[in-house]
Amino acid sequence: MTLKKTALCSISALLIILVTGVTLSLTLAPGPASAQNHPPRVHADADGLALTPPMGWYPWNIFGEEPQTEKLIKEIADALVTSGMKDAGYAYVGQDEGICFSRGPDRKLISNLARYPSGLRGLGDAIHSKGLKYALYTDAGSKTCSTAMPGTKGYEFEDMRAFAEWRADYIKIDWCNSEGQDIVKTYSLLGEAQRAAGRPVVHSLCSWGEGYPWKWAGAIGHMWRTTSDICGPGQADWARAVRIAFANEKLSAFAGPGRWNDPDMMVVGMPGLSEVQNRSLFSLWCMMASPLIAGNDLRDMTRSTIDILTNLEAIAVDQDPLGAQGHVVWNDGDVSLWAGKPLFDGSRAALVFFQGKSKARLRIAWEEVGFAAADELYVRNLWTHETTGPHAGGVDVAVGGSDVAFLRISKKNEFPIPPILVADTYLVSLRAAGSRPEKLTGTVAVTNKGGSDLPPWRVDPKSLPSWLSVAVTGAGKAQTFVNTVTTAGLKKGPYHAQVRADNVEPVSGRPMSALYYDVDLEVVRNVRK
Ligand code: GLA
Cα 207 to ligand 1 centroid, rounded to whole Å: 9
| Residue nearest to ligand 1 atom 3, measured at CA | 229
Name the closest-CA residue to atom 4, ligand 1.
Answer: 60
Q: Quick one: pLDDT band at residue 42, thresholds 50, 70, 90?
A: low
- The minimum-distance atom of ligand 1 relative to the CA of 145 is 12
Cβ(146) – ligand 1 distance below 6 Å: yes
To 10 degrees, the CA torsion angle through 360, 364, 368, 369? 100
Q: Is 5 exposed, middle or buried (0-12, 13-18, 19+ CB in 10 A)?
A: exposed
Ligand 1 mutation pick, 8, 99, 145, 244, max ligand atoms within 8 A of CB:
145
pLDDT at 41: 62
Share of the chain above pLDDT 70, in %: 92
Residue 478 Cα to ligand 1 middle (Å): 38
pLDDT tens-place string over residues 243-291: 999 999 999 999 999 999 999 999 999 999 999 999 999 999 999 999 9
Give tens-digit pLDDT for 100-112: 999 999 999 999 9
Q: To the nearest whole number, what is the mean pLDDT of the chain?
A: 92
Give the pLDDT of residue 40: 56
Ligand 1 nearest atom to the CA of residue 64, by list position? 6
Catalytic member of 47, 96, 229, 345:
229
Is the pLDDT assigned to residue 209 strictly greater than 60? yes
Please tell me the distance from the alpha carbon of residue 238 to that of residue 461, in angstroms, as a whole number: 49
Contact 91, 132 (CB under 8 A): yes
Q: What is the pLDDT of residues 395-411, one digit of tens each?
A: 999 999 999 999 999 99
- At residue 46, the pLDDT reads 86
Conformational region of residue 226, where left means phi above 0, alpha means psi within -120 to 50, and beta covers everything else: alpha
**CB atoms < 10 A from the CB of 221, how many?**
30
- pLDDT for position 3: 33
Residues 490-501, mean pLDDT to the nearest whole number: 98
Are 217 and 187 in contact by the 8 Å Cβ rule? The answer is: yes
Indicate whether residue 148 lines ligand 1 (CB < 6 A).
Answer: no
Q: What is the pTM of this model?
A: 0.93
Q: Identify which of 152, 176, 326, 154 has the alpha carbon closest to the alpha carbon of residue 251.
A: 326
With residue 472 as reference, give the H or E element that holds it. strand 468-475
- Residue 471 has a pLDDT of 98
Which residue has a Cα nearest atom 11 of ligand 1?
145
- Among candidate residues 47, 96, 139, 174, the one labeled active-site is 174
pLDDT in tens, 321-350: 999 999 999 999 999 999 999 999 999 999
> Which of 319, 339, 325 has its CA nearest to residue 418?
319
Residue 20 makes CB contacts below 8 A (sequence gap 6+) with none
pLDDT tens readout for residues 408-456: 999 999 999 999 999 999 999 999 999 999 999 999 999 999 999 999 9
CA of 156 from ligand 1 middle (Å) equals 19
b/e map of 144-153 (b: 16 or more CB within 10 Å)?
bbbbebbbbb
Ligand 1 atom nearest residue 7's Cα: 7
Q: What is the pLDDT of residues 113-136, one digit of tens each?
A: 999 999 999 999 999 999 999 999
Are 251 and 25 a contacting pair, CB within 8 Å? no
Q: Is the CB of 403 under 6 A from ligand 1?
A: no
Q: pLDDT band for 11, please (50, 70, 90 cuts).
A: very low
Mean per-residue pLDDT, 384-395: 98
**Statement: residue 389 has pLDDT above 80:** yes
Question: Which is higher by pLDDT, 474 or 26?
Answer: 474
Across 78-96, average pLDDT: 97
Residue 16 has a pLDDT of: 32
Specify whether 139 is catalytic.
Answer: no
Query: Residue 35: is its pLDDT beyond 60?
Result: no
The number of beta carbons lying within 10 Å of the beta carbon of residue 174 is: 26
**Measured between alpha carbons, how far is residue 5 from residues 13, 102, 145, 208, 490 in Å?**
12, 22, 10, 17, 55
> Is the CB of residue 47 below 6 angstroms from any atom belonging to ligand 1?
no
Given the CA of residue 228, which atom of ligand 1 is nearest to it? 8
pLDDT of residue 22: 34
Angle at 45 between CA 44 and CA 51, to 5 degrees: 50
Q: What confidence tier does 4 reach under pLDDT thresholds 50, 70, 90?
A: very low
Question: What is the predicted pLDDT for the residue at 38?
Answer: 53
Q: What is the pLDDT of residues 353-378, one digit of tens each?
A: 999 999 999 999 999 999 999 999 99
Q: Say yes or no: CB of residue 344 within 6 Å of ligand 1.
A: no
| Residue nearest (by alpha carbon) to ligand 1 atom 8 | 229
Q: What pLDDT shows up at residue 455?
A: 97
For ligand 1, say whether the CB of 60 is within 6 Å of any of its atoms: yes
Higher pLDDT, 431 or 3: 431
User: How far, in Å, CA of 68 to CA of 27, rounded?
Assistant: 42
Question: Is residue 170 predicted with pLDDT exceeding 50?
Answer: yes
pLDDT at 13 over 60: no
For residue 61, the ligand 1 atom closest to its alpha carbon is 9
pLDDT in tens, 211-248: 999 999 999 999 999 999 999 999 999 999 999 999 99
For the residues 292-311, what does the mean pLDDT come to?
98
Which residue has the CA at smallest separation from atom 6 of ligand 1?
97
Does ligand 1 come within 6 angstroms of the Cβ of 11?
yes
Pocket test for ligand 1, best of 18, 174, 265 (most atoms within 8 A of CB): 174
Q: Are 438 and 432 in contact (CB under 8 A)?
A: yes
- Banded pLDDT at 43 (limits 50, 70, 90): low
Question: Does residue 174 have an active-site annotation?
Answer: yes
Q: Peptide bond preceding 390: is omega within 30 degrees of 0, i.e. cis?
A: yes
**pLDDT tens digits, residue range 188-199?**
999 999 999 999
Res 45: pLDDT: 75
Residue 125's pLDDT is 98
User: Which of 66, 96, 147, 226 maximizes ligand 1 atoms within 8 Å of its Cβ, making it the mutation to test the pocket?
Assistant: 96
List, in order, residues 6 or more apart from 303 with CB less than 8 Å away: none
